[in-house]
């Protein structure tokens, strides 16, 4: 799963790197074997490619795997120990909690001056300065300051000698020449520790930028436990990659001219990481739908038909494979294109055309057939007139049904409802007369008969 927040971070990194003629580095931080699977890595690479960040582009490097640098990480840990910037500790959490009286207090520096050397089971802790302040220069948040006295002597290598993420991340950034780190707000608390490590290793820290948290409509941080957060899920549902990219770029930032819907190339040129708002960004699904609808309507008809193909394929569609008629779909595609906001919605728009019988939505039926006798009479009149119609074309069908409406003292819109529900199963959908033309005389009359039989039962 590739979180939409991660996708936003990637896009901001990508835009910044390209603006400056730099390189976007994809590093798979796989030192925790329990949280690392090859299929997850492939998922990340695939998701990035879907939003335009991919291997083969001269501005893209990777993927690199953190585990490949294990020896370099260990060397850095040894360097910190040799310089007196780190020390070995054999305290357990329980021992620390017993000394401090609280499991939440953090490590108390008990082993700082014990002079322990490396042995299996002893962790290596960074010797945080007792005094002073670590100031993080952040392009979005200014210069937040962290008193060193509030930063515990944190672990940089585990009891088995393997470096933890904090150290491995800093060492890899150093090795790969990373100059700017753009990431989520949740990492800000780790930044003073990483900055101390950069300085202890004799290097200048990168420029930091911590992006605002993304929240749902209740202003809660997006969570996979209660929200749809996977980029893959949105793409599978039928949100176009271009629309997703456009929308994600605006989660915390916006162009000064307030023109929001625009191609990525323009967004890339206009984007400035320093202009990102530090306040939480609301993931507005309704706005995303609106964006996606605009992108769908901007497709050529052929492009729209091609985009529909995965949702109409035999392995996903609710009708038999042999029932799909590409020519019939092409006739109605332009009408459907103007009515859907997500590509997967195409199925409900056209299923009446390919299913043996329409999917009958009972609420639609109850609403359209509320006046049972009136609906039955109208369907009978419509059936007789349509059966005798010489020219089975949308204009002729409309004229004939206008006459049916007049005969029953109804406006056309009111008269259409029982016919639409009988033929398509729903009260809303594609324009009725064009739908009847493509459906054909025989199937239309058969569905009117079936509806009349149900009403008369």
- List, for residues 277-333, the tens digit of each pLDDT value: 999 999 999 999 999 999 999 999 999 999 999 999 988 999 999 999 999 999 999
Q: How far apart are CA 10 and CA 327, in angstroms?
A: 41
pLDDT in tens, 90-120: 999 899 888 887 777 789 999 999 999 999 9
Q: Cβ distance 346 to 336 under 8 Å?
A: yes
Query: Could you give phi then psi for residue 86, rounded to 5 degrees?
Result: -150, 160
Q: What is the mean pLDDT of residues 337-355?
A: 97
pTM score of the predicted model: 0.91
**pLDDT at 304 (0 to 100):** 98
* Domains of the chain by residue range: 299-354, 362-456
Mean pLDDT of the chain: 94
Beta bridge partners of 61: 25
Q: Is the dihedral of CA 221, 224, 230, 236 positive or negative?
A: negative
Comparing CA positions, the residue from 257, 236, 247 lying closest to residue 214 is 247
SS3 assignment, position 24: strand
Packed helices 372-387 and 441-456: angle between N→C axes, nearest 10 degrees: 150
What's CA 40's distance to the chain center, in Å? 16
Q: What is the pLDDT of residue 41?
A: 86
For residue 96, what pLDDT is reported? 87
Determine the pLDDT at residue 169: 95
Q: How confident is the model at residue 253 (pLDDT cuts 50, 70, 90)?
A: very high
Helix 301-312 and helix 346-354, axial crossing angle in degrees, nearest 10: 70
Dihedral sign (CA 173, 178, 181, 183): negative
Known binding residues for ATP are 224
Locus of tokens 């780790």: 190
List pLDDT tens digits, range 71-97.
999 999 999 999 999 999 999 989 988
Please report which residue ranges of 83-190 form alpha helices under DSSP H: 93-100, 165-175
pLDDT of residue 35 exceeding 70 = no
Whether 183 and 211 have beta carbons less than 8 Å apart is answered as: yes
- The whole-number pLDDT of residue 97 equals 86
In sign, the C-alpha dihedral spanning 351, 352, 354, 360 is: positive
Cis previous bond, 393, omega within 30: no
Q: At CA 433, angle to CA 427 and CA 435, rounded to 5?
A: 70
Q: Binning pLDDT at 50, 70 and 90, where does residue 69 land?
A: very high
Report percent pLDDT > 90 for the chain.
Answer: 89
Given this model, what pLDDT does residue 204 score? Answer: 94
- 350 pLDDT more than 70: yes
Torsion-angle region of residue 8: left (phi > 0), alpha (psi -120 to 50) or beta?
alpha
User: Most confidently modeled of 30-39, 59-68, 396-405?
Assistant: 396-405
For every residue of 213-267, DSSP letters joined together read PEE-TTSPBP-TTTS--BHHHHHHHT--HHHHHHHHHTSS---TT------HHHH
Give the C-alpha separation, 151 to 442, whole Å. 79
CATH assignment of 362-456? 1.10.10.350
The backbone region for 259, taken as left when phi is positive above 0, alpha when psi lies in -120 to 50, beta otherwise, is beta
Q: What is the separation of C-alpha 211 from the centre of its chain, rounded to a whole number of angstroms?
A: 16
Cα dist. 224→194, 215, 238, 314 in Å?
28, 12, 19, 30
The yes-or-no verdict on residue 36 having pLDDT over 80 is no
Span 170-177, average pLDDT: 95
Q: Is 224 a catalytic residue?
A: yes
* Residue stretches of the annotated binding site for Zn(2+): 89, 91, 111, 113
Show binding-site residues. Answer: 89, 91, 111, 113, 224
Output DSSP code: residue 271.
-
SS3 content of the chain, % helix, strand, coil (to 5): 55, 10, 35
Instruction: Please calculate the CA angle 17-18-22 and round it to the nearest 5 degrees.
Output: 50
Q: Give me the catalytic one of 221, 224, 287, 367.
A: 224
Residue 322 neighbours by CB under 8 Å, 6+ apart: none
């Amino acid at each position: 799963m590739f979180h939409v927040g991660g996708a936003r971070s990637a896009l901001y990194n990508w835009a910044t790197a390209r603006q400056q003629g730099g390189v976007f580095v994809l590093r798979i931080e796989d030192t925790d074997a329990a949280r690392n699977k090859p299929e997850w890595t492939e998922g990340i690479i695939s998701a990035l490619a879907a939003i335009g960040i991919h291997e083969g582009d001269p501005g893209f490097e990777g993927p690199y795997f953190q585990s490949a640098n294990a020896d370099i990480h260990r060397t850095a840990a040894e360097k910190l120990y040799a310089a007196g910037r780190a020390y070995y500790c054999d305290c357990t959490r329980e021992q620390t909690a017993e000394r401090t009286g609280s499991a939440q207090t953090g490590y108390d520096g008990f082993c700082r001056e014990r002079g322990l050397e490396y042995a299996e089971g002893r962790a290596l802790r960074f010797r945080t300065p007792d005094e002073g302040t670590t100031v993080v220069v952040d392009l979005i948040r200014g210069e937040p300051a962290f008193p060193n006295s509030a930063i515990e002597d944190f672990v940089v290598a585990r009891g088995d000698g393997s470096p933890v993420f904090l150290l491995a991340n800093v060492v890899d950034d150093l090795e790969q020449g990373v100059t700017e780190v753009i990431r989520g707000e949740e990492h800000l608390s780790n930044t003073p520790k990483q900055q101390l490590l950069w300085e202890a290793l004799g290097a200048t820290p990168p420029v930091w930028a911590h992006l605002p948290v993304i929240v749902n409509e209740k202003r809660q941080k997006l969570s996979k436990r209660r929200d749809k957060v996977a980029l893959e899920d949105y793409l599978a549902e039928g949100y176009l990659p271009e629309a997703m990219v456009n929308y994600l770029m605006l989660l915390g930032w916006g162009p000064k001219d307030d023109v929001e819907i625009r191609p990525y190339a323009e967004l890339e040129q206009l984007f400035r990481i320093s202009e990102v708002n530090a306040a939480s960004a609301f993931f507005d699904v309704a706005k995303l739908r609106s964006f996606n609808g605009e992108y769908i309507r901007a497709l050529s008809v052929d492009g729209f038909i091609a985009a529909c193909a995965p949702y109409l394929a035999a392995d996903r569609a609710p009708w038999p494979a042999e029932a799909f008629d590409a020519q019939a779909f092409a006739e109605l595609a332009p009408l459907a294109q103007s009515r859907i906001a997500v590509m997967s919605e195409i199925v409900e728009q056209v299923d009446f055309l390919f299913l043996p019988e329409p999917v009958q939505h009972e609420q639609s039926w109850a609403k359209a057939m509320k006046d049972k006798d009136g609906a039955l009479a109208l369907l009978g009149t419509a059936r007789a007139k349509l059966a005798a119609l010489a020219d089975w074309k949308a204009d002729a069908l409309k004229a004939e049904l206008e006459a049916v409406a007049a005969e029953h003292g109804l406006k056309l819109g009111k008269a259409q409802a029982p016919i639409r529900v009988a033929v398509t199963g729903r009260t809303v959908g594609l324009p009725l007369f064009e739908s009847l033309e493509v459906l054909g005389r025989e199937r239309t009359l058969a569905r009117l008969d079936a509806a009349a039989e149900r009403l008369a039962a």
